[in-house]
Amino acid sequence: MPEFDVEGLRLTRDGDLEESTGERNSYNHIFILSLYILPIFGGLSGKLESRDFFLITRSRWFAEKMIAESPFSSLDHATSFARQLWFKESRIQSWLDAFSGQSHLYRAIAHAPGPMMREMLHWDRKYRAKFGFEFVTSTETWFSQKILDEAKARYENTLVVELDIAAQEEFKLIEHGLERLWERLTFSQIQEASEAAGEVVPDSEEKEDVVPSGGSEEADFAAQNVSMLSYDLNKTPEENDYPYSGMSPEEKNAWHLAMWATRYLNP
């Protein structure tokens, strides 16, 4: 296990710093695929799991603390708690664990022109050899020249300074990850509400099935327009009567959300 003792601060990390290019490519491909596959086989159905936060930042300690605090009342609540957790309570090892899931300088090589690729690979190895962790930046990987310049400038930092900068950059990525997680959770809730609303069939809609075959599309379109025109989205569900006869409060809210989704999510 390599050890780094710079200015009295000792950092350790598992594995060899100089792993092969093939091993790094394999790791990157598996990690990127997991971002797309895991939400499909489990995803977010309104209940958060530890792996949802682990995919945001590769620190098990951070993920477990976040899931222990959940559910969060809002995105701001989640972000505020994460900020306190990350900067005030996280151990350095937790930061290093999170950094290990990043390889921004290495990934930026794929977007670099030919002559720059070798130079970026050189600085990727040089940076890790000095600091003992991956280069972390919130700059998009396709800005290869900007990332290379940033790595060169930050290489001159002391370990203490660079550790702080890397933590700041990692938290920017955490914030972005929380935003995407919250969007998926919100979308999942809208889908569930829409499906629940689809199970409720008002009497007025049941009668629309009996129409001449040639005019079915026109009748469906007209019925949808009548429903939307009869519902005021500026009012609460209780202030709107149609088509609420016989619905429970939960069914009313589900129908309201489904109508909103129909208008704004599927124009």
Q: What are the φ/ψ torsions at residue 197 (nearest 5 degrees)?
A: -70, -30
Helix 92-99 and helix 60-69, axial crossing angle in degrees, nearest 10: 110
C-alpha–C-alpha distance, residues 58 and 245, integer Å: 51
Q: Name the β-bridge partners of 6.
A: 9
Question: Which domains are present in the chain?
Answer: 3-184 (1.10.3330.10), 200-206+215-264 (no CATH)
Structure-derived torsion over alpha carbons of residues 33, 35, 41, 45, reported in degrees to the nearest 10: -170
C-alpha–C-alpha distance, residues 12 and 133, integer Å: 9
Residue 152 is predicted with a pLDDT of 95
Give pLDDT < 50 ranges for the chain. Answer: 1-10, 12-45, 199-238, 240, 242, 260, 263-267
Residues 6+ positions from 255 with CB-CB distance below 8 Å: 197, 200, 237, 243, 244, 247
Residue 2 is predicted with a pLDDT of 45
Q: What pLDDT digit, counting tens, does each position of 113-126 carry?
A: 888 889 989 999 99
**Chain-centroid distance, C-alpha 83:** 16
Residue 85 is predicted with a pLDDT of 92
The answer to whether 243 and 202 are in contact (CB under 8 A) is: yes
